[in-house]
Structure formats: structure tokens, C-alpha cells
Amino acid sequence: MATAGDTKAAGGRYVVATSSGGTDTFTISIPTGGSYMVAGWIKAANASSDSFTVRLDTGAVAVWNLTEPTKSWTYDATTNPTFTLAAGTHKLTLGYREAGAAVDRLILVKH
């Protein structure tokens, strides 16, 4: 995983999966427990660069296949799986699966 610049990304930077692999971990806080989807603003040039792995806390690693490859930033969310979380602080780990998959912002959306 690496960061790169793009004037259309929030703050002018985004995270991109590279062939060298890796992960980025984010601390998130949610006010109420429930079922959540991971969502974000993503881009992927083609079907060979359109997925990440996601993990919440110490749960299973899941594959996030983006709905549609796009060269522009677009909103996308995991629909399967959703994640059951208690209120409080959690760790979200975004990992390499295919080089070129890029994410600008991540959010948790109550499902």
C-alpha cells in the first residue's frame, strides 16, 4: 500500500494498493452498535485492479470487490459481508489484493 497525489482526492492524497502488498490500519469510533458496511470513494482502472481486503478488529479478512471499475472517484460499499460491531472504538484494516485499486475516503455505514 502506498499514498499518491490527486487534486480530486480529499486532502489531495489517496491510498493505492501496490504490487509490494501491505495494509493500512485506521482507528474508527462508532456511537451505536449494529450491522455496518465499509464504504468509500474508490477508483480502479479495470477488473484486474478492483478489490481490497478488509478486516474489522480481529475478525475474518473479507474481500471487497468494487461494484464497477472506474477511472474516476466513485462511492462504493461492501454489501457482503456486513460487519456486526458494538459501540466504541474499532480497527479497520484495508489490505492489498490487486495492485492499482485506490481509495480516497473510508466510512462505516449502518446497514
- What pLDDT tens digit does each residue of the chain (111 aa) get? 899 999 999 999 999 998 888 999 999 999 999 999 999 999 998 999 999 999 999 999 999 998 888 889 999 998 878 899 999 999 999 999 999 999 999 999 998
| Best CATH choice for the domain 2-110 from the list 3.40.1710.10, 3.30.70.270, 1.20.120.1730, 2.60.120.260 | 2.60.120.260
Q: Are strands 34-44 and 102-110 parallel, antiparallel or unpaired?
A: antiparallel
Give whole-number Cα distances, 81 to 10, 13, 75, in Å: 26, 27, 17
Q: What's the predicted TM-score (pTM) here? A: 0.88
